[in-house]
Structure 1
Amino acid sequence: MNRVGIRCDAGATIGVGHLMRCLALAEELRDRRLEVVVLGDVGGLGWAREQLARRGLTLIPGPDSPAAMVRAARRLALDAVVIDSYDLDPRCSGALREAGVRVLAIVDGDDRGQDADVYLDQNLGAERRPDRSPAGAVRLAGVRYALLRDDVRRLRRQEPVETVRPEAAPESVKAVRRGTTEPVPRRSVAAGRPPRVLCFLGGTDAAGVVSVVASGLVATRAPFLATVVTPRAGALDHLVPADGQVIHRIPPTDDLPRLIAAADLVVTAAGGSVWELLHLGKAAALAWVAENQRPAYEEVVSRGLAAGLGRLDAATAADGPARACLRALLTCARTRTELGMRGPALVDGEGRARVADALLSS
């Protein structure tokens, strides 16, 4: 195998999750000296184009029909195609296979009837769901196969550990990690400095709702230094921070992994970035925005890997559990440390190598 095509899209309304995980696989394939071509549309997002350019990846308009996909594969001499899309005609995968092209379909639960050689569902708990793959197909399921970019993997550090008892944590967050007694990384917040908080809802805030989460943070009245990612310049103008609360808005950025690594607490949605947070051992408070995020949210929270805020609009409910949870995380460094302790062992960063092995095996 010499050349692999990746068919995925990104944009202000559909987000960048598909592109980011495909870039991770592209890096792995390039490391193995394969040529990689990206077929799709990045919706005019300049920083997404920069991600491709920085990796030396060519972007070609993505075909949308089975016949067009086959023509593109033949024109580009593709030996395999990776498809990661909720919208692409699912018959494209079968047409490629009939043309002799090996197909990897990246899915999130529903395979949409695609006919692929390899199916990848990198979500936590996917390994326990029934395998409905066609006979002869390979199914890769669970966070053992999580696709992480070099930008994320290189930020992981080995740190001293200490043992934290779960009973030392406030009741408002203890429920989401009951039974935790494992060693945890030792991290501390500098004396007198409020915790650094990173708040984002996907790489682009596609639903335009990050201000709801920021409002929930402000409502706790606890001090913090927050960086909020949103393309909407006036999205936070209505907020009135309390004493000790500082909010800094930035537009979508390709520097998100570094911002995650520098944060004491990350408040985000239950999307693909969760695996990055677990890999880096970050305390996270999650909300679910779209219905398709709910299964992953419930799996992660029920296993004590993140604090749960519930559906997004619950984050601002007066005197609700989400607000109490946020306040506990903002005011107790030990609680944040304990919450982030299980992720690094669960998401080891080698998932993309396992996926590449399966794709390249004939």
Structure 2
Amino acid sequence: MNGRLRVGLRCDAGVSSGVGHLVRCVALAEELRARGVEVVFLGQVRGSAWARAQLDERGLPLADAPSAPGRLAALARELRLAAVVLDSYELPADTGAALRRAGLAVLAIADGDPLGQQADLYLDQNLGAERRHGQGTVQGTGGRWLAGARYALLRDCVLRCARTSRPGGVPHVLCFFGGTDSAGVAPAWARALLATGEPFRGTVISPAPFEAGGPITVIPPTDRLPELMAGADLVVTAAGSAIWELLYLGVPAALTWVAANQLIGYEELVGRGVAAGLGAEPGERAVAALAELLADPAAREEHGRRGSGLIDGRGRSRAADALLALL
């Protein structure tokens, strides 16, 4: 064990829980490591080879993490961590408090409600979070909010990407729902696209293969996702962590939601006209909205125009600045 600063990132990923928490923690880990900080992931990755590859291919170590707060604090001390980032809805509410009592700085990543976690810093990257949380401290903890899209956490592979300029023609649609499609909705949204009757070329990403038919190709989760997003005329997805990547790239998006925590982002994004809203189900209203977007390039591009510029790509740098200032 050397004397370099070490930070732990507590998150899980899997078929049922999705990979969004891990993806944004990877982005923060890349920033910290670029500054000479050692990082170690604490948690479990279950049933998703793609999720595990995000760590392995970057050389990011993963240690199994106990669920009990006291045992997690003991592991953090054993690993000589200076700080722990918490990004999970499933942790016991006193996890942050146990870590702080053990002398560690804590950054809790949340989507709205921090669920009772104590922390020195709270990060909510959702659009409009700065209005909901303000810039003050959290009562009872003294923790400070890092709130709003200026703190969006983007991976290196996204920051290196740029949208591909496209001539007119048949639109290319990319459809995906996180790295695992934990809600199993990809086939239904593929059928909704086909039901529009409009010409398009489609790529659907799904960990479970299925025959979509027509102009749709189904592929497994891939590290080419940023490239595929940058080359799409429209992306159909849920209002999860990938939306910040789409906004950064300026790609038009049509959104649904597959988890309760995504609704706050969905309402803000659709309410501002930054993305088109499809609702929760791929029914008649969603099919009509998709048909309009496929038939009208100007309507699609207007969403992309409104979204571009909201994410400047420096969110993870700001978050790292704030965290390291505690140490």
Of the three residues 124, 136, 140, the one matched with 2:142 is: 136
Q: Distance in 1 between matches of 2:78 and 2:106?
A: 17
Q: Distance in 1 between matches of 2:263 and 2:34?
A: 34
RMSD: 1.6
Instruction: Please list the CA deviations of residues 86-136 of structure 1 after superposition, one character each: whole Å capped at 9, or x if unmatched.
Output: 001121111110111000000111111111000001111111114561353
Instruction: Please list the CA deviations of residues 219-238 of structure 1 after superposition, one character each: whole Å capped at 9, or x if unmatched.
Output: 1111111111112223xx3x
SS of equivalent to 1:335: helix
Q: How does 1:1-362 map to 2 (within 5 A)?
A: 2-130=5-133, 133-134=138-139, 136-156=142-162, 187-190=165-168, 193-234=169-210, 237=211, 239=212, 241=214, 246-311=215-280, 313=281, 315-317=282-284, 320=285, 322-362=286-326
Q: Name the aligned partner's letter for residue 170 of structure 2.
A: P
SS of equivalent to 1:354: helix
Q: Distance in 1 between matches of 2:178 and 2:76?
A: 31
Q: Name the aligned partner's letter for residue 338 of structure 1.
A: E
Q: Name the aligned partner's letter for residue 357 of structure 1.
A: D
Q: Distance in 1 between matches of 2:195 and 2:11?
A: 38
SS of equivalent to 1:136: coil
Q: Distance in 1 between matches of 2:302 and 2:311?
A: 17
Larger Rg: 1
Q: Name the aligned partner's letter for residue 322 of structure 2.
A: A
- Identical-pair percentage: 56
Aligned to 1:176: none
TM superposition outliers: structure 1 runs of 4+ over 3 Å: 187-190
Q: Distance in 1 between matches of 2:258 and 2:60?
A: 31
Q: Distance in 2 between matches of 1:140 and 1:327?
A: 38
Pairwise CA distance, 1:188: 3.8
Q: Distance in 1 between matches of 2:213 and 2:105?
A: 54
Q: Name the aligned partner's letter for residue 138 of structure 1.
A: R
Q: Is the 8 A contact 2:111 2:124 kept in 1?
A: yes
Where do 5+ consecutive residues of structure 1 fail to align? 160-186
Change (3 A) 1:323 1:44: closer
Q: Which is further off, 337-346 or 80-89?
A: 337-346
Q: Name the aligned partner's letter for residue 250 of structure 1.
A: I
Q: Is the 8 A contact 1:283 1:337 kept in 2?
A: yes
Where do 5+ consecutive residues of structure 2 fail to align? none
Relative to the length of structure 1, the TM-score reads: 0.85
SS of equivalent to 1:103: strand
Q: Distance in 2 between matches of 1:259 and 1:42?
A: 25
SS of equivalent to 1:282: coil
Q: Name the aligned partner's letter for residue 120 of structure 1.
A: L
Q: Distance in 2 between matches of 1:308 and 1:206?
A: 20
